[in-house]
């Protein structure tokens, strides 16, 4: 194992080195630092050119400059953006976290949505639902990310802000959207025509009704989930998750999920008090999350039974959902204040930057602010990579479902739920481990575009700006960081694969 890791590490290092040589050569060839001076009409033009040539050592061959850069790089000096006279390290500060938060939130969301819809689509193969999902994912797949981002920025953001300013119920749009939701659920749940019609009617009415309630009750002026909102969501998920992963017949699993939901709800008011007296910060939230998981595992373990793992897993998922809901609820509580703050002035959906400058915010409002900024760029990235995941997951699920051991599982009388969740799902998820790193690289590429459009000062924008300013050092820093990220993701995927699939040995 160690040998494998070491070998991979040195291989990655070598690849990075070769990459740096080649990219440096190409970027050096492509950039033209003298472009602005060439157009210049100033009398001391020759002098300016000479000074810049001396500054950037343009009279030396490219490999001298490369070794200069490399020498600095291995000693931790990332170099200098000569035009702005900023060190690359100071430029990167904040940019890396900004980009990673964007890329990660988009990837995680796309992955979850894509997996779920892909699996349902595979289970309903050759139905209208399957065809519709396929068609939609084809269209999403063909969408250029920059076009979607511009669309969201120029049209969607303004529409949403206008709507939040003065919420009214647009009857035709609401009807159509509710009907789409109805069709989606009817198709996803399937069954006899009678059942489909029932599901369709119920889903349509619930969607439309909920939306009408949200608009008319003034919820949007002061949105929050509250004790009852968190409670309903928690218990609903406790039942749904047990149904999906353990079956409602497994009483211990059901009870441990429900107990977890009850405990989570029990501490709801306690947490409100805690956050009232103790100002929250990042590590406190992490600590709370970890303790929530620990309590959930304990609950699952205490309910026990022959299949402890299942109860514990279900309880942990429920605990995570309740924790997130409580967090969201607390963040939403500052919404009215945020909405009316002098920096926001009633236009909460942001289109520029990663945060509102000069916003005098506590922990919660900073989170809300980050969220309103993340919303549109993340949607743009999710829409596109989600389609790929859906197609991939559908294909891999279909492949697994056609194998002999699934037939055996069915033949020995296992319920369809057990066959799908316990036998098929796990194997169908495995191939994903090998496309996530590839897709991550694509999302990083997509982030270059979204960051540029939404004016995020992330790494992608840094790359584009530096390319336009003919500054090679920031470009090289971007290339090295992205390359290292991609290789780490690849290595992690390989290890994950080895853990998941006993047929693969990393020592080989």
32-51: which residues touch other proteins (CB under 8 A)?
Answer: 32, 34-35, 38
* Least spacing, CB of residue 44 vs other proteins, in Å: 20
Q: Does 389 bind other proteins (CB under 8 A)?
A: no
Q: Does 411 bind other proteins (CB under 8 A)?
A: no
Nearest to 119 by CA among 108, 109, 107, 133: 133
Query: Which is closer to other proteins, CB of 131 or CB of 301?
Result: 131
Whether 471 and 82 have beta carbons less than 8 Å apart is answered as: yes
Q: Does 82 bind other proteins (CB under 8 A)?
A: no
Name residues contacting other proteins, limited to 121-150 (CB under 8 A).
125-126, 131, 134-135, 138-139, 141-147, 150
Selected from 4, 8, 23, 124, the binder of other proteins by CB under 8 A is 23
Name residues contacting other proteins, limited to 339-378 (CB under 8 A).
none
Phi-psi region of 191 (alpha: psi -120 to 50; beta: other; left: phi over 0): left
Compute the radius of gyration of the chain from its Cα atoms.
27
Q: What are phi and psi of 80, to 5 degrees?
A: -140, 135
Name the token pair of 437.
Answer: 């790193």
* Least spacing, CB of residue 317 vs other proteins, in Å: 28
Q: What are phi and psi of 86, to 5 degrees?
A: -105, 145
User: Which part of the chain contacts other proteins (CB under 8 A), choosing from 168-176, 189-197, 354-362, 387-395?
Assistant: 387-395
Selected from 241, 448, 462, 476, the binder of other proteins by CB under 8 A is 448
Distance CA 231, CA 225 (A): 9
Q: Does 506 bind other proteins (CB under 8 A)?
A: no
Return the half-sphere exposure (C-beta side, CA atoms, 13 A cut-off) of residue 85: 0
Name residues contacting other proteins, limited to 474-493 (CB under 8 A).
478-479, 482-483, 486-487
* Least spacing, CB of residue 99 vs other proteins, in Å: 12
CA dihedral 202, 203, 208, 211 (to 10 degrees): 120
* Least spacing, CB of residue 419 vs other proteins, in Å: 13
Q: Does 298 bind other proteins (CB under 8 A)?
A: no
Whether 421 and 245 have beta carbons less than 8 Å apart is answered as: yes
Q: Does 502 bind other proteins (CB under 8 A)?
A: no
How long, in residues, is the chain?
508
Q: Does 15 bind other proteins (CB under 8 A)?
A: yes
Query: Which is closer to other proteins, CB of 31 or CB of 323?
Result: 31
Q: Does 461 bind other proteins (CB under 8 A)?
A: no
User: Which part of the chain contacts other proteins (CB under 8 A), choosing from 29-37, 199-207, 210-218, 326-334?
Assistant: 29-37
Q: What burial class does residue 214 get, using C-beta atoms within 10 Å of its C-beta: 0-12 exposed, 13-18 middle, 19+ buried?
A: middle
Query: Which is closer to other proteins, CB of 253 or CB of 479?
Result: 479
User: Which part of the chain contacts other proteins (CB under 8 A), choosing from 194-202, 369-377, 414-422, 431-439?
Assistant: 431-439
Selected from 391, 420, 456, 476, the binder of other proteins by CB under 8 A is 391
Estimate to the nearest angstrom the gap between the alpha carbon of 320 and the chain centroid: 17
Q: Does 87 bind other proteins (CB under 8 A)?
A: no
Q: Does 445 bind other proteins (CB under 8 A)?
A: yes
* Contacts by residues 58-65 (CB-CB < 8 Å, ≥ 24 positions apart): 58/33, 58/34, 62/24, 62/25, 62/28, 62/29, 65/24, 65/28, 65/472
């Amino acid at each position: 194992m160690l040998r494998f890791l070491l070998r991979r590490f040195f291989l990655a290092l070598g690849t990075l080195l070769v990459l740096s040589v080649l990219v440096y050569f190409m970027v050096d060839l492509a950039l033209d630092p003298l472009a602005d001076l060439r157009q210049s009409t100033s009398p001391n033009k020759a002098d300016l050119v000479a000074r810049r040539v001396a500054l950037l050592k343009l009279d030396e061959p490219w490999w001298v400059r490369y070794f200069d850069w490399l020498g600095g790089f291995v000693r931790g000096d990332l170099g200098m953006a000569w035009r702005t006279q900023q060190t690359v390290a100071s430029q990167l500060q904040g940019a890396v976290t900004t980009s990673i938060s964007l890329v990660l939130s988009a990837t995680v969301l796309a992955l979850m949505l894509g997996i779920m819809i892909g699996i349902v689509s595979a289970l309903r193969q050759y139905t209208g639902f399957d065809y519709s999902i396929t068609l939609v994912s084809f269209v999403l797949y063909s969408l250029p990310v920059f076009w979607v981002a511009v669309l969201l920025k120029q049209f969607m953001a303004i529409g949403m802000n206008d709507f939040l300013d003065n919420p009214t119920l647009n009857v035709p749009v609401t009807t159509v959207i509710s009907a789409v939701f109805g069709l989606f659920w009817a198709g996803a749940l399937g069954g006899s025509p009678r059942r489909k019609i029932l599901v369709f009617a119920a889903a349509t009415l619930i969607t439309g009704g909920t939306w009408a309630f949200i608009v008319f009750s003034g919820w949007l002026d002061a949105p929050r989930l509250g004790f009852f909102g968190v409670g309903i969501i928690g218990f609903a998920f406790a039942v749904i998750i047990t149904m999906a992963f353990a079956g409602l017949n497994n009483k211990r699993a059901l009870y441990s999920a429900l107990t977890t939901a009850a405990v989570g709800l029990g501490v709801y008011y306690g947490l409100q008090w805690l956050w009232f007296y103790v100002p929250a910060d990042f590590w406190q939230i992490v600590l709370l999350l970890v303790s929530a998981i620990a309590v959930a595992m304990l609950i699952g373990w205490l309910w026990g039974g022959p299949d402890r793992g299942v109860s514990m897993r279900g309880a942990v998922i429920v605990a995570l959902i309740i924790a997130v809901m409580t967090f969201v609820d607390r963040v939403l509580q500052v919404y009215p204040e945020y909405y009316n703050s002098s920096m926001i002035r009633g236009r909460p959906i942001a289109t520029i930057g990663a945060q509102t400058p000069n916003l005098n915010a506590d922990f919660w409002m900073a989170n809300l602010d980050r969220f309103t900024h993340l919303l549109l760029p993340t949607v743009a990235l999710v829409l596109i990579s989600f389609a790929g995941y859906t197609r991939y997951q559908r294909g891999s699920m279909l492949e697994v479902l056609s194998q002999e051991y699934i037939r055996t599982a069915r033949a020995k009388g296992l319920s369809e739920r057990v066959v799908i969740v316990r036998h098929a799902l796990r194997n169908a998820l495995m191939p994903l481990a090998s496309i996530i790193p590839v897709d991550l690289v694509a999302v990083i590429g997509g982030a270059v575009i979204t960051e540029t459009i939404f004016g995020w000062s992330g790494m992608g924008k840094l790359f584009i700006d530096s390319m336009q300013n003919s500054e090679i050092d920031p470009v090289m820093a971007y290339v090295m960081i992205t390359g290292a990220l991609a290789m780490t993701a690849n290595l992690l995927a390989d290890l994950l694969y080895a853990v998941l699939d006993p047929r693969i040995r990393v020592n080989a």
